[in-house]
Amino acid sequence: MRRVEGDLDIDVEGERLTLLPERAALWHREEALLIADPHWGKAATFRAGGIPVPSGTTLEAIDRLESLVSRTHARRVIFLGDLLHAKPGRSKEMFGALEQWRRGHSGLDVILVRGNHDRRAGDPPPELCFDCVDAPYLMLPFVLAHHPSRHPDGYVLSGHVHPGIRLYGPARQRERLPCFVFANEFAILPAFGDFTGLGDVEPSAGDRIFVVAEDRVIDIST
């Protein structure tokens, strides 16, 4: 893997994870890239509904995925749900870009753990060769899911929330940033997509929080 300065390594359940400022995580033992909530096709869904949102967000995210795969040398990409935003957003353009990406990485395993949006938007077309599974999907010691929850068999890695946190500092400074949340029994990854927004989280005692501040991941749970 080609590291950048903003990467941050952590241990979870004895496994080494690298939290990446591109808003994804790398699970080293499985060489798996973990990505939550891309919401691809969201802008196109809006346009189809008569709301002008410029195109580019989805293609940018696919580019970002492409460069992530090459810099981490991942063997596997696991989407933790909400890959596609909605049915009207299933555009040729987007699947074309995904297909092109897929052709360049035919050896790559791609798994989609379905989320609430995927159930209505549908799975990606079969020629993209995504393994689409329902949550919970066990890859012990982790349980892969979309909704944050507890699971008796392992530590849950999830998304859905698009976690963001408000920070306050001396001289009454404020920031609101996307973050990774690692709680006792589950973790929530930040949303990968650009046009997704943030949901505020209220951490409990013992939660580890890592914010994505532009090009670096910073541990703020001291």
Residue 107 makes contact with another protein by CB under 8 A: no
Contact 115, 80 (CB under 8 A): yes
Contact 84, 124 (CB under 8 A): yes
Q: Which residues pair with 9 in a beta bridge?
A: 18
- Closest to 88 (Cα-Cα) out of 121, 112, 39: 121
Structure tokens, 193: 């997509």
* Residue 97: its H or E element: helix 92-104
Q: How many residues bind another protein (CB under 8 A)?
A: 53
Nearer residue to another protein within complex by CB, 106 or 173: 173
Residue 8 makes contact with another protein by CB under 8 A: no
Nearer residue to another protein within complex by CB, 103 or 172: 172
**Nearest distance from residue 109's CB to another protein, in Å?**
29
Q: Which of residues 187-216 bind another protein (CB under 8 A)?
A: 194-197, 202-205, 209, 211, 213-216
Residue 97 makes contact with another protein by CB under 8 A: no
For residue 146, report the phi and psi dihedrals to the nearest 5 degrees. Answer: -95, -50
- Closest to 125 (Cα-Cα) out of 95, 89, 80: 95
Choosing from 8, 15, 47, 71, the residue that interacts with another protein (CB under 8 A) is: 47
Amino acid occupying residue 160:
H
Angle between helices 92-104 and 57-72 (to 10 degrees): 10
**Nearest distance from residue 205's CB to another protein, in Å?**
5
Nearer residue to another protein within complex by CB, 54 or 107: 54
Q: Which residues pair with 24 in a beta bridge?
A: 20
Residue 146 makes contact with another protein by CB under 8 A: no
Residue 221 makes contact with another protein by CB under 8 A: yes
Tell me which residues touch another protein (CB under 8 A). Answer: 42-57, 60, 85-86, 91, 93, 117, 120, 165-175, 177, 194-197, 202-205, 209, 211, 213-216, 218, 220-222
